[in-house]
Structure 1
Amino acid sequence: MARVFCGLSGGVDSALAAALLVEAGHDVTAVYMRNWSRDLPGFKCPWARELADAERVAVTLGIDLEVWDCEAEYKATVVDYLVDAYAHGYTPNPDVMCNQTVKFGTFLERALAAGADFVATGHYGRVERGEGGRVRLLRALDEHKDQTYFLWRVSEDALARTLLPVGEIRDKAEVRRMCAERGLGVENKPDSDGICFVGPVGIRAFLLDSLERRAGDVVEWETGRVLGRHDGAFLFTVGQRRGLDLGGGPARYVVDTDVEKNVVYVTADHDSPALFMREIALDDTCWISGEAPESGRYLVRTRHTGELCEAELDGCVLRFGEPVRRVAPGQSAVLYDGVRCLGGGIVQK
């Protein structure tokens, strides 16, 4: 029996993770991480409601629940990171940083200091333990829900102290059924979607609440013709189609943004060469084992649940055999050797 501190968010996946740990005979303490409690214009932060759900699950399971205030770390390493990245023309992935710095950073460190042997979460992934204490991060059995794309910056040392119970379950329907069987009361909650602290107000409203509005031109990529105006180039990302507000006519796609000149470039050609690429330059790479993989061919995912594509890794450059859709700078490119997640890097401009 191990002493396990389980992150309990009030959602379906973490509730089942806690239940499975209790059933396995572990000494489980639930922890609700209060990462964000600020209301935004038109959006009341749901943290209190989520905490109430977590409390009900803990009572049902007969385990203690502690509330840990992680807001300072979350703001400094996730929220501020997101705002700064958008201000510089990147489209960041805050979940990746949250996992590295908060859930498998602050949470793990505090749990170990409190006497935990392991921490656990409701992430869809698998930790394989081998000889000599070495561990590998594997994709979840449910490929559609797999979250290793968001875990590529978590170190091997942190994973060695991590349990991921729901990664062994084949689909979300089964997770919900198992929650219902145990009377946890959260089985019908919808999946979380988008950036947790932004909520239904959307990233545009959040950024305009954080950054100064700057009017600029929307320009046709092929001709340089001004098609309309926008409130800030930082609000747009490569490949975006909605929210351009260009009136009637064909659908247009964002090809590029220039935050210094405050210009957004678009095209009406869905198959424009400007929307495709054959290589990606990576920065701020992070490898789970601590060692960069050898040059060679690997599977690469550039979007959560996106297609796994084969690419050649040469140093910090990924080369694809065929043109693939452009990936917004600031997003993650994650490498796999079969089902094993190796790590990845941040896509550069």
Structure 2
Amino acid sequence: MKVIFLSNAGSIHTIQWVTYLADLGIDVQVISQQPIGESFPAHIPVHILPFKGFLGYFLNTIPLRKLLKELKPDVLNVHYASGYGTTARLTNFHPYVLSVWGSDVFEFPLRSSLHKYLLKKNLAAADTIASTSIAMRNQTQQFLAAGRPISITPFGVDFSKFSRKQISKGHQSSVTVGTVKTLKHVYGIDILIHALAKVYNLLQQQNSKLAEKIKFRIVGGGEDLLKLQQLAENLGIEHIITFVGRVEHDAVPQELAKLDIYVALSRQESFGVAVLEAQAMGLPVVVSNVGGLPEVVKHDETGYIVETENPDQAAEMIIKLVLDQQLRDEFAMNAEHFARQNFSWEACAQQMQKVYQDTLVSFKKRV
């Protein structure tokens, strides 16, 4: 089977998908506006489209049509329903699988009635629609004709990199709570900082010795950095919180290895691969009850699911884990097992392969 990815070649998700699909013996190539990322596999061909940016999604129609005519794929897999979804629809190649990613169905259609109309047109044109989570499938279905199915194709975890056996933490006298996430409002880093301040203040009252050993660590770059640093200072925790900045995906396991508890208090989350990677590293987690996050955490087994916009409840669960080493160890073991049993990239790639096969069969019946 020959599959062409129309996707951002610089995205780690694109890189992971094509790597594991190629391992299954699929002839996979990538067509992209964006340049390849540093970790892009050298054995997978990439074709860069000539036009960039917003207009590129319209202007690249003819170059894409020409490329597809030359490459003759069995299936085109289009990633992101707004930008590349527009290019694919205008190109009119079939069959193609349209994979929704998150903001394309959660944010894009809310910008205006025109954006919503464009999304509906793009979704309707696809032969098959795929979503990484049930929550995002439910969000997408409101823009589709009633009863149209959506396949679930979750992201996986690379256990050769994300494994607590790979990296030794060594002896640690402190307890470090943190996250690895882009510093944007939607990911609730401000909620996390409020929760961490409550954790520190409550520990000072309940266990002053442990309060002296607590550390907070936020890994990620983004537009809200200065605002969040100021918030930490205003709440009096600037001396125990470290803003690491953005790191490459290959460095994320080393950063996770420095944590004892992982927290994600997003306001919106289409799936939750970062939470899965943390659990694969043997970290207990505290996450908000939004989007796909509840699908990747087992409450009271691998971590805790708390109400969104509720730093008090988040702080309560974090303190519970901070105070109880045995509980952290139990959750850590459960978390690693849960991630490995349910979200290996090999299994996720096989699921995507089945979607391609089913799409081909369905398409051939129609023509």
Same fold, TM-score > 0.5, yes or no = no
Query: What TM-score do the two structures reach when normalised by structure 1?
Result: 0.30
Bigger helix share = 2
Bigger strand share = 1
Query: What TM-score do the two structures reach when normalised by structure 2?
Result: 0.29
